[in-house]
Structure 1
Amino acid sequence: MKWKEQIHQLHAYQPGKSIAEVKTHHTRHSIIKLASNENPYGYSLKVDHMLKEFGGTLNIYPDGKASKLRAETASLLEVDPNQLIFTNGTDELIQIISRTLIQPGKNTVMATPTFSQYKHNAVLDGGEVREIPLIDGIHDLDRMLSAIDENTTVVWVCNPNNPTGTYITIEKLWTFLKKVPNDVFVVLDEAYFEYVEQPGSTIELLEDFPNVMITRTFSKIYGLASLRVGYGISSVDIIQKLEAARPPFNTNVLGQMAAAAAISDQEFVKECFQKNAAEREKYYAFCLENGLKFYLSEGNFVLIDFKWDGEEVTNFLLEKGIIVRSGKQLGFPTCVRITIGLTEQNERVREAIKEFIKERSMNG
């Protein structure tokens, strides 16, 4: 087979372990999954009502324009419906952006560690990847600016950043964007936007910076990860260009309907935001009490530095029936990323961590 040379540099994305896998191979405990930043509170009851009342057929293609979902989203965000593109999760949107802008001889700038799919797609499309190390978990915007040249096509800013959860304020973003050349496309990945406590919305930046796209998802706070619906917000001109590269009928019927129902229930979003914020504070207090370093997060997860091998911590918790994400896979080898779950789940995690610290201390 005449594979692209780049394919030999890549590996398939490694998701967190499934509950079924852990139940079969690892433990007799009841299993809780806190590895993939899913919403432990599920999704809006409006989605359930929609699914129960669904009377359509499955042999007809979905609405290629996602008209109802487009209208609901545009209304909430107060943007022109033509400023939106809908995709099979934001993973597909990242892929579309890379496919349309990154090629041999061009480069793309991003932080490291950050969400892996920016680099993955850039490598696959033959572009040069310029990675700028985080400073204490935060994007080094000055060095990212310095890395931009005449061959830069895309700059990626994950905000809040995954896996650290750190957040760049709108004021700092505005200062950064003001210095980015107008012909460089800047992607603000806001998968966890709805969990952010700091005030303001980056959508206002689009008025001053038509070279910016904001990406968001229905997989996190809306609780629809299995239905794979994401979207982007940008200038009408950019959306038109990207639409030409979007696969036809890429969002399915149920996904569109569920997302439209979910986004219409902002009371549910508010409740999840409040519960997540309260539980996140408990993790901070726990870390302070036990001498563990952590990153202040604006997401629904917390990255904790144990100063030991993160894989060791992950495996210990796995034996207790708790699935978390080893920092070794995320660029933080001594850390573990824990999704913030239900109150009782979080208490169980913290008790297990206490056991680990005690055993590790006793064994030196």
Structure 2
Amino acid sequence: MAGVKSLSPYQPGKPAEELQRELGLDRISKLASNENPLGASPLVQERLQASIPDITRYPDGNGFKLKAALSAHHNIEPACITLGNGSNDVLDMVARAYLGPGREAVMSQYAFAVYLIASQTVGATGVTVPAFGPDHDMPFGHDLVAMAAAITPETRVVFIANPNNPTGTWLEADALQAFLDVVPEDVVVVLDEAYLEYGDPSEVVDGTRWLSRYNNLVITRTFSKIYGLAGLRVGYALSHPDIADMLNRVRHPFNVNLLGMVAAEAAIAD
């Protein structure tokens, strides 16, 4: 109980409607949560309308159709895919599967707050490594050399965001691969790529290229940003099948809702 009370709850951006009530405003352009202002694709909206009669049934607990679509999209086996209620859910699965009292998770300063919350929730210690200073070529970015040095025998997970929110920084491919080369094989490296599609492909590397090389690598993605499905909460992880098996052991039943899976499958196709 004491450990839970020491946690700082995640504070999401306020809904526009709440700000309208508080401030007496008629029009608000909400930027706090990085939501897609263009909305979901026409095919997504069409498929959602067609699926309304099906909401009386539980969704496919294994997400067969969505996994098949992701498998084709990433050219990866379905056994390497773990579906989540947003990528936040997958990050929480990693913490529950690999962390606990006496274990450590390494992360950068100014990274996604959920990394620390998920780690502390299961009783693990979050080790926050200072980010680069304001005068660095990548101000407030991840210092991978310092993060590698922070790994101890108790470390079980390293969280990395590329690109990183809220700093807008990214990691060069050579530096990231050099980091992966020195991380012990029993340490899971989570590469959070929620904002990958917003980066220049010539600068921001797609981490899936390394999945066949590093069995301890987990790539997390979301449909909340570029696909405009934040309200439906769909994310996923790509990893070695052994890691996917561990994540699925702690995954809650029916964790992705029916309409979310329909929309995500349509978003990939459109």
TM-score range, shorter chain: over 0.9
1:255-270 maps to which residues of 2 (within 5 A)? 255-265=260-270
Choose from 46, 50, 65 the match for 1:49. Answer: 46
- The alignment-based identity, stated in percent, is 41
1:115-154 maps to which residues of 2 (within 5 A)? 115-135=112-132, 136-154=139-157
Residue identity opposite 1:70 in structure 2: K
Choose from 181, 186, 189 the match for 1:186. Answer: 189
1:124 & 1:245 partners in 2: Cα distance? 14
Residue identity opposite 1:208 in structure 2: R
Is it true that 1:113 corresponds to 2:118 in the alignment?
no
1:113 positional shift: 1.3
Aligned twin of 2:170: 167
Choose from 96, 104, 117 the match for 1:99. Answer: 96
1:20 & 1:47 partners in 2: Cα distance? 25
1:55 positional shift: 5.5
Q: Deviations over 1:307-349 (max 9, x none)?
A: xxxxxxxxxxxxxxxxxxxxxxxxxxxxxxxxxxxxxxxxxxx
Q: Deviations over 1:87-122 (max 9, x none)?
A: 111111111111111111111100011100110111
Residue identity opposite 1:165 in structure 2: G
1:177 positional shift: 0.3
1:20 & 1:68 partners in 2: Cα distance? 35
Choose from 240, 244, 249 the match for 2:245. Answer: 240
Choose from 231, 234, 238 the match for 2:236. Answer: 231
1:16 & 1:79 partners in 2: Cα distance? 34
Aligned twin of 2:199: 196
Q: Deviations over 1:163-182 (max 9, x none)?
A: 10101122211111001011
Report 1 or 2 for greater relative contact order, CA contacts < 8 Å, sequence distance ≥ 6: 2
Residue identity opposite 1:11 in structure 2: S
Does the aligned pair in 1 maintain the 2:106–2:150 contact within 8 Å? yes
2:268 & 2:54 partners in 1: Cα distance? 23
1:172 & 1:131 partners in 2: Cα distance? 19
Q: Which runs of 5+ in 2 are unaligned?
A: 133-138
After TM superposition, the runs of 4+ consecutive aligned structure 1 residues lying more than 3 A away are none
1:204 positional shift: 1.0
Q: Deviations over 1:200-226 (max 9, x none)?
A: 521111111010000000000000000
Instruction: Figure out how many residues of one structure are paired with residues of the other and give that number.
Output: 262
2:212 & 2:25 partners in 1: Cα distance? 55
Is it true that 1:15 corresponds to 2:12 in the alignment?
yes
1:182 & 1:13 partners in 2: Cα distance? 31
Residue identity opposite 2:237 in structure 1: G
Aligned twin of 1:90: 87
State the structure with more CA Rg: 1
1:29 positional shift: 4.7
1:56 positional shift: 3.8
Does the aligned pair in 1 maintain the 2:44–2:267 contact within 8 Å? yes
2:34 & 2:41 partners in 1: Cα distance? 17
2:70 & 2:42 partners in 1: Cα distance? 18
1:78 & 1:216 partners in 2: Cα distance? 15
Q: Deviations over 1:248-296 (max 9, x none)?
A: 111011000000000112xxxxxxxxxxxxxxxxxxxxxxxxxxxxxxx
Residue identity opposite 2:210 in structure 1: L
| CA distance 1:142–1:47, change in 2 (3 Å) | same
1:57 positional shift: 2.6
Choose from 200, 222, 225 the match for 2:227. Answer: 222
Q: Which runs of 5+ in 1 are unaligned?
A: 266-364
Does the aligned pair in 1 maintain the 2:9–2:117 contact within 8 Å? no
Aligned twin of 1:155: 158
**Could you state the TM-score of these two structures normalised by the residue count of structure 2?**
0.94
1:73 & 1:7 partners in 2: Cα distance? 36
3-state DSSP of counterpart to 2:250:
coil
1:64 positional shift: 0.8
Q: CA RMSD in A?
A: 1.2
1:237 positional shift: 1.1
Does the aligned pair in 1 maintain the 2:160–2:192 contact within 8 Å? yes
